[in-house]
Amino acid sequence: MQSSDTIDYKELYEYSRKENILLREEFKQLRLVNEQLLHRLEQLLKLSFGSKSERYVGKEQSPGQLRLGLTEEVTVEVSVPASVATEKAKQVQPAQEKKKHFVIPESIVDEIQEIHPDVIPEGSKCTGSEISYRLKCSPARLTAKKIIRYKYLLPTPAGDPGLTSKIIIAPLPDEVIRNCMADASLLATLIIEKYCDHLPVYRQMTRFDRTGIKLAHSTLLDWIAKTCTLLNPLYEKLKQEVLQSNYLMMDETTMRVMDKSKKGTTHRGYFWAAQAPPAQLVFFEYQPGRNQEVPQALLSDYKGYLQSDGYSCYETLAVNKDIKLLCCMAHARRYFLESEKNDPKRAAYALNVFGQLYDIEREIKDKTTSERKEARQELSKPLWILFGQWLEENAGMLNEKSAIHKAFAYTMKRYKRLSVYMENGTLNIDNNPIEGSIRGIALGRKNFLFCGSHDGAQRSAMLYSFMGTCKLQGINPIVWMVDVLKKINIQPADQIQNLLPHRWKELKEIEPVL
């Protein structure tokens, strides 16, 4: 046994102390990692099973909490798309050999149009007719218009043996798509049901099948593609008008796209959205990537305010002196809402401040632009200044890996841009309007899962643009689409912009009542 005289107790003490320090540091790191993992788990569980509303009502205000004296409860509603059941896409069967004759059941014919030549020389004899069909659609069932064009044999001049006899027939009525049996109502229904009601084309095909009409999946897709070709000049005009606004909101959302170069998987593309709140217009553009070159190219000639979330690619636009950036208050608020369990006291204080800012917006929403600006300067700006001081005082006390620190960091980095809306009564406090416009895409991709190609994705972007603008303008999209498809082939090129939803609405309102 070793003698006690030979034991170096000082060395053992120092060794033990160092071990304890290392263990404490290791325990501290493990606790931080555990908090991070628990926070992520909480967010995942909330995303999957929790309420999608971001409603917050503080239990009580802190003793030194800023007060407005408003009795209305502090709430902010930012709803997210409800879960929609997905259905596995059916594999498209190879197209069968095209039949020579397409038989329309007479049971679905509810209208017959008989057309004779405008001028029928005296003595002409009707020798028969040519029958064409135009498929129509109503919400309840598929019907068809039967077009009968009578043919006339012109009289034979005296002394003519009849070798030069001639038959005349009236031309077909105007068609939306040349040599296509789809009427404007059917083309509009295909588009509205997919891009407004989120009904995939193959499900529409199944519905048509129940009426006795077997329309190939490829045929329906071809009709939509050709309709988009017709609407493309109108889409360019919409894009041009949106970018002429002096106030834009921008955001982006994902869409999976089939790509021949990626076997066994899909490409992750993006729909980029730009919305002009003053004019109530929105357009979408598809891009394969999410890099900074996209907004830079899109807004190369833009001048005005640009509101967005905290995505860094928008910050690169700050070098353009013609663009003034402002950020979304709802995004900053969301970070504090997610950190409520991590640091209840600080999160509650911040959420109450955000709540008071939104209370002010609710109070002044129906006031004039100048009155909104004045109220924001008088009420919102002092609140925001005090909140900024509070952020500075508390930031140094936080754990850098905690959820509350993330909320502080996000808000402090964008503090000035979050307050830009206070300098102009036209500006919005957050980006929620454009998120509402994107919601339809989120619902759609849960149903039809992906776009068939990059070109198909751009066509979808075009149609989402029209549907989104109709929604903002309060227009029934199918009424607008049917009318536009009937007119677009005969509309003068220099007047094509009159078919845009907002201009179409104005012209409809001033049309004389017959």
511 band by pLDDT with thresholds 50, 70 and 90? low
Lowest mean pLDDT segment, chosen from 139-153, 416-430, 444-458, 493-507 = 139-153
Containing 248, the helix (H) or strand (E) segment is: strand 247-258
Q: What is the pLDDT of residue 486?
A: 94
Query: Is the dihedral angle over the CA atoms 309, 312, 317, 318 positive or is it negative?
Result: positive
pLDDT exceeds 70 at position 440? yes
Q: How far, in Å, are 148, 184, 401 from residue 36 at the CA level?
A: 73, 55, 7
239: helix, strand or coil:
helix
406 band by pLDDT with thresholds 50, 70 and 90? very high
pLDDT tens readout for residues 41-93:
766 766 666 655 566 655 544 444 444 444 333 333 333 333 323 333 333 34
pLDDT exceeds 70 at position 99? no
312: alpha, beta or left? (left if phi > 0; alpha if psi -120 to 50)? alpha
pLDDT exceeds 60 at position 422? yes
pLDDT tens readout for residues 346-358:
999 999 999 999 9
Q: What is the pLDDT of residue 87?
A: 37
Could you give the percent of the chain with pLDDT greater than 90? 61
pLDDT tens readout for residues 361-390:
999 999 999 999 999 999 999 999 999 999
Q: What is the pLDDT of residue 47?
A: 62
Lowest mean pLDDT segment, chosen from 215-219, 418-422, 506-510 = 506-510
- Given a contact cutoff of 8 angstroms between Cβ atoms, the answer to whether 66 and 356 are in contact is yes
Tokens 């519905």 label which residue? Answer: 207
Interstrand relation of 266-276 and 247-258 (parallel, antiparallel or unpaired)? antiparallel
Task: Tell me the C-alpha distance between 475 and 481, whole Å.
Answer: 10
pLDDT exceeds 60 at position 159? yes
pLDDT exceeds 90 at position 497? yes
Task: Tell me the C-alpha distance between 257 and 255, whole Å.
Answer: 6
Q: Who's near 429: CB < 8 A, 6+ residues apart?
A: 329, 330, 357, 358, 361, 421
Q: What is the pLDDT of residue 80?
A: 30
Mean pLDDT of the chain: 85
Q: What is the pLDDT of residue 41?
A: 74
pLDDT exceeds 60 at position 3? no
305 band by pLDDT with thresholds 50, 70 and 90? very high
